[in-house]
A = this chain, B = another copy of it.
Amino acid sequence: MPDPNNNRTRLVRGEMENHQRSHPAMTETLLSLSINLDRNSPVPLYRQLAQQVQGSIENGEIPRGSRLGNEVLLAGRLGVSRPTMRRAIQDLVDQGMVVRKRGVGTQVVQGSFTRPVKLTSLFDDLTDSDQAPMTKVLSHQYLPASAQVAAKLQVPSGELVLRLRRLRTAQHEPLAILENFLPANLADVDEDVLESGGLYQALRDTGVKIVTANQRIRARQGTPHQCELLNEPPESPVLTADRLAFNDSGQAIEWGQHVYRPSLYSFTVTLVR
- Bound-state CA distance A35–B19 (Å) is 45
Return the CB mask of A176-209 against B: 1 if under 8 Å, else 0.
Answer: 0001000111111000000000000000111111
Closest CB of chain B to A138's CB: distance in Å? 8
Are B248 and A219 within 8 A (Cβ)?
no
Are A225 and B151 within 8 A (Cβ)?
no
- Bound-state CA distance A18–B212 (Å) is 18
Q: Contact partner of A16 among B98, B140, B184, CB < 8 A?
A: B184
Closest CB of chain B to A161's CB: distance in Å? 10
The quantity of this chain's copies bound in the complex is 2
Are A99 and B246 within 8 A (Cβ)?
yes
Interface residue? A34 (CB, 8 A) = no
Residue of B nearest to A47 (CB): B7
Interface residue? A77 (CB, 8 A) = no
CB proximity to B under 8 Å, residues A1-32: 1-22
Closest CB of chain B to A228's CB: distance in Å? 12
Q: Name the residue among A114, A154, A236 with the largest chain B CB count within 10 angstroms.
A: A154
Closest CB of chain B to A59's CB: distance in Å? 9
Closest CB of chain B to A187's CB: distance in Å? 7
Interface residues of A, CB < 8 Å — how many? 122
Closest CB of chain B to A246's CB: distance in Å? 5
Are B185 and A110 within 8 A (Cβ)?
no
Residue of B nearest to A116 (CB): B214
- Bound-state CA distance A58–B219 (Å) is 29
Interface residue? A165 (CB, 8 A) = yes
Q: Name the residue among A16, A104, A156, A213 with the largest chain B CB count within 10 angstroms.
A: A16
Return the CB mask of A55-85 against B: 1 if under 8 Å, else 0.
Answer: 1001000001100000000000000000100
Contact residues in B for A249 (Cβ distance below 8 Å): 17, 99, 101, 107
Are B111 and A252 within 8 A (Cβ)?
yes
Q: Contact partner of A269 among B8, B65, B129, B269, CB < 8 A?
A: B269
Which residues of chain A have a CB within 8 Å of any CB of chain B? 1-22, 43, 47, 51, 54-55, 58, 64-65, 83, 93, 96, 98-101, 104, 107-117, 119-121, 125, 128-129, 140-144, 148, 151-156, 160, 165, 179, 183-188, 204-209, 211-221, 223, 225-226, 235-240, 244, 246-252, 257, 259-260, 262, 266-273
What are the nearest 3 A-B pairs in CB distance?
A237-B237, A14-B207, A111-B252
